[in-house]
Structure 1
Amino acid sequence: MNRLNTNGKIAFPAILALSLIANFSLAQEATKVDSAHYKVEFENDQVRVIRINYGAHEKSIMHEHTPGALVFITDGEGRFTYPDVKTEESNWNAGEVGWSFGEKHLPENLSDEPYELILVEIRDKQPEK
């Protein structure tokens, strides 16, 4: 009996599945894990302003944000993969605004053009009056 061969056939898919689950469940803060696409422009105890840039067909890694307002600087087309591996595609136009609920996601630019947007994250802690 060749235990290594049998175990290898079972173990490899199990290890692959566990590593994918770990990657999706251990999402981290975007500016720390993907500074190529996310840059903090301003930060205080009330908000954090992040500039987001993706080149044509660029993809990030699983990460998360706190909830905040989105301001789209350019037109864009993206795909967002969530920890449960469901995907959602979205299109937006320059000048549109929206809201981000702060979910974990893995974004991908589906366009042949770069896109840029601003995320204004709202801090939980509000200043004393």
Structure 2
Amino acid sequence: MTSDSAAALDPAVTNPEHYQVVFENERVRVLEYTDKPGDRTTRHAHPDSVLVVLSSFRRRMYAADDSAHDLELTAGKVGWLAAQQHAGHNIGDTDSHALFIELKEGARTETGVLGPVGPAVR
């Protein structure tokens, strides 16, 4: 996250008991998320991300406009999470465990490169 307002909503800062940075480079940041039944997060923001669900859990999500919706996520699910602000509440009876692979702005992809660059492996 680059701007001051984005930094103020960084989940690793606003909710460090739940979000841990486990990898970061100039193109992505990977956050590990954990919580227990009844736990809540404060409002925070994610850029465009890939969500990898590591355990099945139920949550109530609160959007930036304070509307709420419940969802159930199943272990092994992988999905796209468009940039957003939200807060959450574990409303189930299982711990939550997930990875957020956050994409950083300005990342560029080399065209025509389909695999590792370097000498051929024989």
The equivalent of 1:124 in structure 2 is 105
Whole-angstrom CA distance in 2 between matches of 1:111 and 1:128: 40
Q: Aligned AA for 2:105?
A: D
| Percent identical | 24
Aligned twin of 1:102:
83
Q: Which residue of 2 aligns with 1:52?
A: 33
Higher helix share: 1
SS at match of 1:79: strand
Structure 2 Cα separation of the partners of residues 110 and 40 of structure 1:
24
Per-residue deviation at 1:125? 2.2
Matched position secondary structure for 1:104: strand
Higher strand share: 2
Letter in 2 for 1:46: R
The within-5 A match list for 1:13-52 is 28-52=9-33
Q: Count matched residues.
A: 103
5+ long unaligned stretches in structure 2: 1-7, 111-122
| 3-state secondary structure, aligned to 2:42 | coil
Tell me if 1:75 matches 2:56.
Answer: yes
- Residue 91 (str. 1) matches residue 50 (str. 2): no
Give the TM-score of the pair, scaled to structure 1: 0.75
Deviations 1:93-125 (A, max 9, x none): 100111111211011111111110000001112
